[in-house]
Structure 1
Amino acid sequence: MFTVHGLTELADLIETGTPLYVRYSPGPEADAAHPSTDHESGLLMPGVSANSLEPPGWWTRPVADWLARRICQYLREVHEGARPWLLTGRETDFGPDNEPLLADIQPIAWIAPELLDEARERYRARFNAGRSTH
């Protein structure tokens, strides 16, 4: 797999029209060897959990803002040994956090550490993270 190094490069990939998702795990080979399991119930899931990188229709800010936000949602997993990567596949259902579950996955690219740093900086600078909804 190739590696995506910046938000602009990632935004260019989004614009190709292929549905892209981000996943934090040891990688495609490890995921293929072990079926995804809901950790709380112990049930096998019909696909791997991932998060869509496609901005929703209501999003009017730059695509790079959306990507930074999505990339930053699971950064804690990097500290737990996971590695972020891009994939595409067929949505089969939804996981316990309402995330899409993908089957027939096709690995696309690794996400470079410098992209994570850029996303973190952009997210902090452009969002009011942690703001209450009330």
Structure 2
Amino acid sequence: MRTVRTLAELAELTSSGEAPYLRYSPGPDSDAHHSSNDHESGLTMPGVSVNPLAAPGWWTLPLEDWLARRVCQYLRELDEGARPWLLSGRQVDFGPDNEPLVVDIRPVAWIAPELLDEARERYQSRLNAGAATHRDR
């Protein structure tokens, strides 16, 4: 499987539709043998949970800013032994956090450590990373 090294490369794969999803896990070989589990209920879900990469229609900043945000959303999973990789597949349902669940997975590429570094830097420098969505008054 190839490796994507920059946000520009990731933007190209996302825009073309070749890699619509990002996943943090041990990798495609491990994920081929089981679906994701809902940790709170203990239920097995009907597919693998993924992070969609396509920017919504309201997003008017560069796609690379959106992708940096998406890549950084689950970086904590690196500490649990997961690796980030790109895939396509057929969406069959939603998980408990409204994330897509996909089957018929087609691995596309690994995400290189230098892309993670670029995403962290861009997320921190260009967006208000970690800002609260709303505050109750």
With normalisation by structure 1, the TM-score equals 0.96
Aligned to 1:77: 77
**1:21 pairs with 2:21:** yes
Query: Is residue 21–residue 50 contact of structure 2 (8 Å, CA) maintained in 1?
Result: yes
Q: What is the aligned residue count?
A: 134
Alpha-carbon distance, 1:17 to partner: 3.0
Does 2:58 correspond to 1:58? yes
Shift of 1:60: 0.3
Contact 2:87 2:108 in 1 (8 A): yes
Q: 5 Å matches for 1:80-91?
A: 80-91=80-91
CA distance in 2 between partners of 1:36 and 1:110 (Å) = 19
CA contact (8 A) 1:19 1:54 kept: no
- Unaligned regions of 5+ residues in structure 1, if any? none
Which structure 2 residues correspond to residues 1-134 of structure 1 after superposition, within 5 A?
A: 1-18=1-18, 20-132=20-132, 133-134=134-135
Q: Secondary structure at the match of 2:32?
A: helix
What CA RMSD, in Å, does the superposition of the two structures yield over aligned residues? 1.0
Q: Structure 2: 5+ residue runs without aligned partners?
A: none
8 Å CA contact 1:19–1:52 kept in 2: the answer is: no
Structure 1 outlier segments of 4+, above 6 Å: none
Q: Identity across aligned pairs (percent)?
A: 69
Report the alpha carbon displacement of residue 34 of structure 1 after superposing the two structures with TM. 2.6
